[in-house]
Amino acid sequence: DGGITQSPKYLFRKEGQNVTLSCEQNLNHDAMYWYRQDPGQGLRLIYYSQIVNDFQKGDIAEGYSVSREKKESFPLTVTSAQKNPTAFYLCASSRTGGVNEKLFFGSGTQLSVL
Amino acid sequence: DAKTTQPNSMESNEEEPVHLPCNHSTISGTDYIHWYRQLPSQGPEYVIHGLTSNVNNRMASLAIAEDRKSSTLILHRATLRDAAVYYCILRGGANNLFFGTGTRLTVIP
């Protein structure tokens, strides 16, 4: 089945630790996105990538880093600089970054701080 | 960035039609109107999108005002599986994807 796979579903981070969230898609999509969702809130854009080896900061990129070395993969690292990392993280993709393209979302990773 | 305004919550009886409104008075001419819905602890799911004309698909209909400053998502017969948070967003670019708090739809059996 085509789709987006996020792993792990739950992740715990210790103080001062970097953690990496995985996002893989087999839809052959060029564009990929990372969003953060806090309880009862909407989604906020962290980073996005419209093509391999290129990515751009979204609205809340501080404390996060990404890479896009392969078309199908867009991992997100939550660094120790992110002081409030507890949230639900969602990865999405679209065929291109065009405004007429619909987004496909993964099932999310819940990150909590120990 | 153009933003949208939606009611925080709405209720509907099962098998009744539901009209979910969205205001977007600052929409630009090239912004597409997208609707997604989200169940608890899941990623959002695409519902429908459009630019100027009304749109229909198997899930819903999208009615867009003539001046494009508002739109309405129409679920023709609400089922319990339609209970979710519905987001109306404007897409004007790859990074112009503002998801507000959406409308929480409760379907009453």
pLDDT (average), residues B19-43: 92
- Who contacts B46 (Cβ-Cβ below 8 Å, separation ≥6)? A102, A103, A104, B34, B35, B36
Q: What is the dihedral of CA A104, B38, A87, B89, to 10 degrees?
A: 70
User: DSSP character for B30?
Assistant: T
Mean pLDDT in chain B?
92
CB proximity under 8 Å: A 18-37 to B: 31, 33, 35
Neighbours of A27 (CB within 10 A): 15
pLDDT for B94 equals 63
Question: What DSSP designation does A103 have?
Answer: P
Q: Which residues contact B81 (CB under 8 A, 6 or more apart)?
A: none
For B33-58, b where at least 16 C-beta lie within 10 A, e where not — what string?
Answer: bbbbbbeeeebbebbbbbeeeebeee
Q: Do B46 and A104 touch (CB under 8 A)?
A: yes
Q: Do B41 and A104 touch (CB under 8 A)?
A: no
Nearest residue on chain A to B36, alpha-carbon basis? A103
Predicted local confidence at residue B99, as pLDDT: 81
- The pLDDT confidence band at residue B56, using thresholds 50, 70 and 90, is very high
Residue B100 pLDDT greater than 90, yes or no: no
Give the dihedral sign, CA B63/B78/A35/A2: negative
- Partner residue opposite A31 with nearest CB, options B42, B94, B98: B94
Instruction: Name the residue among A41, A104, A107 with its Cβ closest to that of B42.
Output: A107
Min distance A19 CA to chain B CA atoms (Å): 20
Q: What's the pLDDT band for B95 if we cut at 50, 70, 90?
A: low
- CB spacing of A56 vs B95 below 8 angstroms: yes
Nearest to B92 by CA among A103, A99, A95, A57: A99
Q: Nearest by CB to B101, from A35, A42, A97: name it.
A: A42
**What are the structure tokens assigned to A83, written together?**
């002081």
pLDDT at position A27 is 96
pLDDT in tens, chain A (114 residues): 569 999 999 999 888 899 999 999 999 999 999 999 998 888 999 999 999 999 999 989 999 999 999 999 999 999 998 989 999 999 999 999 888 899 999 999 999 988
Rounded CA gap, A14 and B25, in Å? 44
Whether A39 has its CB under 8 Å from any CB of chain B: the answer is no
Contacts of B36 in chain A (CB under 8 A): 103, 105
Smallest Cα distance from A94 to chain B, Å:
10
A108 touches chain B (CB under 8 A): yes
Residue B1 has pLDDT above 60, yes or no: no
Under 8 Å between Cβ of A37 and A87: yes
CA dist A55 and A75 (Å) reads 12
Distance CA B83, CA B73 (A): 14
